[in-house]
Structure 1
Amino acid sequence: MSLLLLIVIFTAIGGVLSVLAASVFLLLSESQRAHVLPHGISFAIGALLAAAFWGLIPHAFEEVEKAQFQGLSATILGGILVFFVLEKLLIWRHCHHSGYEAGGDHHHDHQPAAILILLGDGIHNFVDGILIAAAFLTDVKLGIVTSLAVAAHEIPQEVGDFAILLQSGYSRRKALIYNMLASLSTVIGGILAFFCLEDLHGSLPYFLAMAASSFIYVAVADLIPSLHEKTDTKTSLQQIALIATGVFLICFLHDVAHDVELQSTQEKLEMPGSKE
């Protein structure tokens, strides 16, 4: 299977299929959705952190000389700060827009908010596609793990997008169609990155470092605070268990993919005529 085809398949998994998975959530009652969503968020936290610390960061450092370690560390730190500033700007724009809504017609003001959600989601998915492609260009197993982590993160986020679109007056059918179109930008980003990044292997470790900083920031700044809204013992233990499950699953899949790759390489070397 060609690398481009793998990128197309797994960017689709990270984007389109996460929307389809999230759309099943719409079939639940409101009380059921409120119960299930925190569990998905807990799992996503574990998946994102494991992908960053078990996969992306180690692979990024493996691809550079020791003299570049400080630059990679600075990239991770700078990425976290950049994502903080970007989110700050988005929050400012949201607050500014909300202030405008307070003095206007609410029925009409919800439509621009929904459009901004779709545009923002499309841009986010496009970047995710670039990050997945960068991971595949470095290592296939890393690409698989990265796409799974993206999907784990996207599902609860897509559920939130559906809620906003429905609140803005979209039917469930239109909300699904528009969200699906926005998710296609993941595949587009992956394809464009394949052709643009293939000859720029020296830049790949820094893309991986940025991907890691994105995962770390989303997990720590956006997802973890939402878990602190409930502090009872039972919920806390469930959160810890699901985070641990996310970590274990990503680490397990990463190690399995690594073992499969080693076995495949060994079999090729043992084939007649394959020795150099």
Structure 2
Amino acid sequence: MIYAIIAGCCVILTSVFGSVLGLIFRKITHRINDMFLGFAAGVMMAAAFLGLLPTAFSQSEFSAISVAVFGIIAGAVFISLLDRFIPHIHIDGGQMREESSPNPRANRTLLLVIAIAIHNIPEGLATGIVFGKGVSGNALMVAASMMIQKIPEGLIVMIPLLRMGMSKTRALLFSFGVALMMLPGVVIGAILGSLPVMLEILFYGFTFGAIIYVVSDEIIPESHEHGYQRYATFALIVGIITVAMLQYI
């Protein structure tokens, strides 16, 4: 648990570092934004496939494989339901576009918090669950992957806050508070990772499915909306390569 919390704090700090960069680069082009999104998608995909999926399918028995498959589907369905029924805002090239909401007067900042929280759920779980059995090369690889992708994410989140009229200090404090929302997921993930084997397999699959859903439904489509999908695709490949190389460092 201690190592999981330390890793989670490191991920949070890298998110804050990305937000600080957002204070410096207050305007980024759609092309750069889409490349950042593509890179983050590649990092998350690689961490999921290299760090979570092998553990989910580590047992060869049919029952264990069935549990892993069920977990993957459950994770994707869970995030899909959150995305479907909870009003939130999508960040689009430094702008914000609001999803349909039953309360049209809902505060935009709150909607942004909810959007980031939905993204942070699988990321926090992934960071925590790999430390459930202690420190390992796989755990460090997943944690490092989350740290890497949080830097561009922090930058992309900061820019619309400034465009909303927030002061730099308030926007930075807001970004830090939102980043802290990852910690509950880290703690829950660490607890789940220490459960008996079958439950561990279930939640590894669940976390994998949740991450892949976020990448496929949110990040990649948003990186392809402005005509720079080729740049975003190459950035995604770079993200995958970056995480793959972490296994040999």
- Report the TM-score, using the length of structure 2 for normalisation: 0.80
Contact kept? 1:80, 1:213, Cα under 8 Å: yes
Q: How far apart, in 1, do the equivalents of 2:54 and 2:6 lie? A: 25
Query: What is the aligned counterpart of 1:6 among 3, 17, 28?
Result: 3
Aligned residues: 239
Q: Report whether the alignment pairs 1:142 with 2:160.
A: no
Q: Report whether the alignment pairs 1:245 with 2:245.
A: no
- Tell me the equivalent position of 1:54: 50
Q: Report whether the alignment pairs 1:130 with 2:134.
A: no
Q: CA deviation at 1:42?
A: 1.3
- Tell me the equivalent position of 2:92: none
Q: Which has the higher helix share?
A: 1
Q: CA deviation at 1:83?
A: 1.6
Contact kept? 1:133, 1:193, Cα under 8 Å: yes
Query: What is the aligned counterpart of 2:35 among 31, 34, 39?
Result: 39
Q: CA deviation at 1:35?
A: 4.2
Secondary structure at 1:137 match in 2: coil
Contact kept? 1:25, 1:33, Cα under 8 Å: no
Runs (5+) with no aligned partner, structure 1 = 102-108, 258-276
Contact kept? 2:17, 2:154, Cα under 8 Å: no
Q: CA deviation at 1:183?
A: 1.5
Query: What is the aligned counterpart of 1:217 among 209, 213, 219?
Result: 213
Q: 1:182 to 1:27 in 2, by over 3 A?
A: same
Residue by residue over 1:116-150, the C-alpha shift from the partner in whole angstroms, topping out at 9 and shown as x without a partner, is 43355357546533331211224622222222333
Secondary structure at 1:229 match in 2: coil
What is the aligned-residue identity percentage? 19
Whichever residue aligns with residue 204 of structure 1, its letter is E
Contact kept? 1:41, 1:223, Cα under 8 Å: yes
Whichever residue aligns with residue 108 of structure 2, its letter is A
Q: What CA RMSD, in Å, does the superposition of the two structures yield over aligned residues?
A: 3.0
Contact kept? 1:114, 1:164, Cα under 8 Å: no
Query: What is the aligned counterpart of 1:121 among 109, 116, 134?
Result: 116
Greater Rg by CA: 1
Contact kept? 1:39, 1:242, Cα under 8 Å: yes
- Tell me the equivalent position of 2:17: 20
- Report the TM-score, using the length of structure 1 for normalisation: 0.73
Contact kept? 2:11, 2:150, Cα under 8 Å: yes
Q: How far apart, in 2, do the equivalents of 1:181 and 1:29 lie? A: 20
Equivalent positions of 1:71-150 (< 5 A) are: 71-91=67-87, 94-96=99-101, 100-101=104-105, 112-118=107-113, 121-122=116-117, 124-125=119-120, 128-138=123-133, 140-150=136-146
Whichever residue aligns with residue 12 of structure 2, its letter is G
- Tell me the equivalent position of 2:177: 181
Whichever residue aligns with residue 13 of structure 2, its letter is V
Runs (5+) with no aligned partner, structure 2 = 89-97
Residue by residue over 1:199-252, the C-alpha shift from the partner in whole angstroms, topping out at 9 and shown as x without a partner, is 5454222221122112211211111112332446xx61x333322211111122
Q: CA deviation at 1:40?
A: 1.2
